[in-house]
Amino acid sequence: MLLFAGLALATGALAALDVRLALAGALAVMGTIAVVSRPALGGLILVATVPVTSGLAAGVPFPLLRPSEAAILGIGALFLVLALRPAVRWNSLDWAVAAYCIGSITIGAFHELQAGTLATNVIAVTAPLQFLLLYRIVASTLERPEDRSTALRLLVLLSIPVSIIGILQQFDIGPTQTFIETATKSTIFDTWGFENYPRATSIFPNWHTFAGYLAVVILLGLARLTSQHAPRRRVETLVAVGIATGALALTQTFTSIFAVAFGTVLILRRQRAWHIAPWALVLGGIALAFFGSFLGQRFEEQWIGREDSSLLPQTVDYRIEVWTEQYFPLIGQYWPLGYGTGIPPEVDWVYTESGYLTLLLRGGVGLVIAAAFLIGTSYSTANRVSRNRTGDDRAGALCVVAVSLALIPMNVVWPYLTNSGLTQAFFVVLGLVRAASASTERAPAPEYPAQPVAVSRNRPAPDPPG
């Protein structure tokens, strides 16, 4: 009670300083009351808010932090201070996530301390902490299958307004573009590329981040469609997947489009649900019918309207040029421990255009290995859960299986594992898979099917095996 009274007083004091701070305080009070009464709400709040707000800029609406970061740190601190959940025994997946996140923070802090810039770059250095907290809170609070089902449903359905914003943006309807520029504070809208070939970004700072988020949503929705659900649930999931598919086409990001195509085949094969394939083709056909002109323009830009005869897309050719001329010569210098959170001064093009180069420059070969360990462990854990669970638990696991495999080539051309969008959605589903794997470990499936035991009327049944 004293805690709540103190929070209320603090909220009133903040109102005199900044309305945004008062809003954050009011949300903190309401969130604290809700989470204390039911800790699973903490996990559901993060599932509902973090992926869809991860592209918003810092200071919108809270000072210094992105809304997604504020939610993670606020609820994370609440769980730490109030000890709302007992400690959960760590397994290999937990250590893989921790190694990736804490390793990135440690090596980043080391470089910034050497440069004397840690105080000014502390947010960039500690940014990976949000992934670890997000994963652990979701994994430790959503222990009940019905809570995990609710979480997956929220993740899919809340993508609808995000997808619609992207569609409205691409067709330049109303003040959508102005709203997006204000909300994301992205500088990409002033570049030559966007002005000549506009692509949907929705409330994300880049079309790659938006497309990565949509890829997770579409694959998760598809996996849920192939699971056993009530007809109404299937309709709402189909609507969300259909709108997200259209929005993905408008991002004109072939990397994520190919990832979704690969994941679709994998999920249909694992679920033995080839009868769903026609519906997937229908969704793809509708997206092409309405938005195919944008994809055609992008295809022509990448392959047809070029003077050279290269078989690679124009953007990939340019990436190779940037890598070979600017980044590859630096590998010998920075491969042991990396450079830090910034870009070496020898580089003119400050975007690595590759997840592997980003990891190498941030933390050296050790961080690249940690990321590979994370992806490999995510795949193996999700693969095991998909074979031992049914329904939404299996759907979430199949989504992680597909995304883990797709990330291997996707990270070649964009830092999907370090940027917003895909990363937050992926760690949410990964946390749900971890919670499902804990249930599987507590109640493993029998190695052999149980055989009926004949029981005589005159003799008691034998005791069950210990």
Query: What is the Cα–Cα distance from 385 to 433, expressed in whole angstroms?
Result: 7
User: At CA 458, angle to CA 455 and CA 460, rounded to 5?
Assistant: 55
pLDDT of 317 reads 82
Instruction: To the nearest 10°, report the CA torsion of 319, 190, 362, 313.
Output: -20
In 127-230, alpha helices (H): 129-141, 145-157, 159-170, 176-184, 192-196, 207-225
How many CA atoms does the CB half-sphere of 130 hold within 13 Å? Answer: 28
User: At CA 262, angle to CA 260 and CA 267, rounded to 5?
Assistant: 90
Query: What is the Cα–Cα distance from 340 to 359, expressed in whole angstroms?
Result: 10
Record the pTM.
Answer: 0.86
Q: Which residue has the higher pLDDT, 9 or 412?
A: 412
User: At CA 354, angle to CA 59 and CA 115, rounded to 5?
Assistant: 60
Query: What is the Cα–Cα distance from 235 to 257, expressed in whole angstroms?
Result: 23
pLDDT of 268 reads 92
Is the model's pLDDT at 13 over the cut of 80? no
CB 100 within 8 A of CB 374: yes
pLDDT of 431 reads 96
- Burial state string for 453-463 with b = 16 or more CB within 10 A and e = fewer than 16: eeeeeeeeeee
pLDDT of 465 reads 39
Segment 258-282, tens digit of pLDDT? 999 999 999 999 998 887 777 777 7
CB 160 within 8 A of CB 218: no
Residue type, 95: W
CB 104 within 8 A of CB 460: no
pLDDT of 367 reads 96
Least confident segment among 10-19, 113-122, 214-223, 420-429: 10-19
Q: How far is CA 27 from CA 3, 22, 75, 367, 420, in A?
A: 15, 9, 11, 36, 23
* Number of Cβ within a 10 Å radius of residue 394: 24
Query: What is the Cα–Cα distance from 9 to 4, expressed in whole angstroms?
Result: 9
The sign of the CA dihedral 196, 197, 199, 205 is negative
Is the model's pLDDT at 455 over the cut of 60? no
Segment 87-103, tens digit of pLDDT? 567 899 999 999 999 99
**Structure-token pair, residue 245:** 């598919």
Query: What is the Cα–Cα distance from 207 to 419, expressed in whole angstroms?
Result: 12
**Structure-token pair, residue 23:** 């809003």
pLDDT of 382 reads 97
pLDDT of 438 reads 78
Q: Which residue has the higher pLDDT, 183 or 311?
A: 183
Percentage with pLDDT > 90 across the chain: 52
pLDDT of 464 reads 39
Query: What is the Cα–Cα distance from 407 to 37, expressed in whole angstroms?
Result: 38
Mean pLDDT estimate for the chain = 84
Is the model's pLDDT at 412 over the cut of 90? yes
Confidence of residue 159 (pLDDT cuts 50, 70, 90): very high
Query: What is the Cα–Cα distance from 414 to 437, expressed in whole angstroms?
Result: 30
Confidence of residue 445 (pLDDT cuts 50, 70, 90): very low
Cis omega before residue 61 (within 30°)?
A: yes
Q: How far is CA 232 from CA 68, 286, 347, in A?
A: 30, 22, 54
Segment 26-72, tens digit of pLDDT? 666 666 676 777 788 889 999 999 999 999 998 766 677 888 998 89
Kindly state the helix (H) or strand (E) to which residue 52 belongs, with its residue range.
helix 40-53
Q: Which residue has the higher pLDDT, 265 or 315?
A: 265
Confidence of residue 135 (pLDDT cuts 50, 70, 90): very high
Percentage with pLDDT > 70 across the chain: 79
CB 99 within 8 A of CB 366: no
Residue type, 277: A
pLDDT of 440 reads 57
Confidence of residue 205 (pLDDT cuts 50, 70, 90): very high
Confidence of residue 288 (pLDDT cuts 50, 70, 90): confident
Query: What is the Cα–Cα distance from 285 to 103, expressed in whole angstroms?
Result: 44
DSSP state at residue 453: -
DSSP state at residue 444: P
Is the model's pLDDT at 245 over the cut of 70? yes
Find the mean pLDDT for residues 17-23: 58
pLDDT of 306 reads 56
pLDDT of 429 reads 98
Least confident segment among 74-83, 210-219, 348-357: 74-83
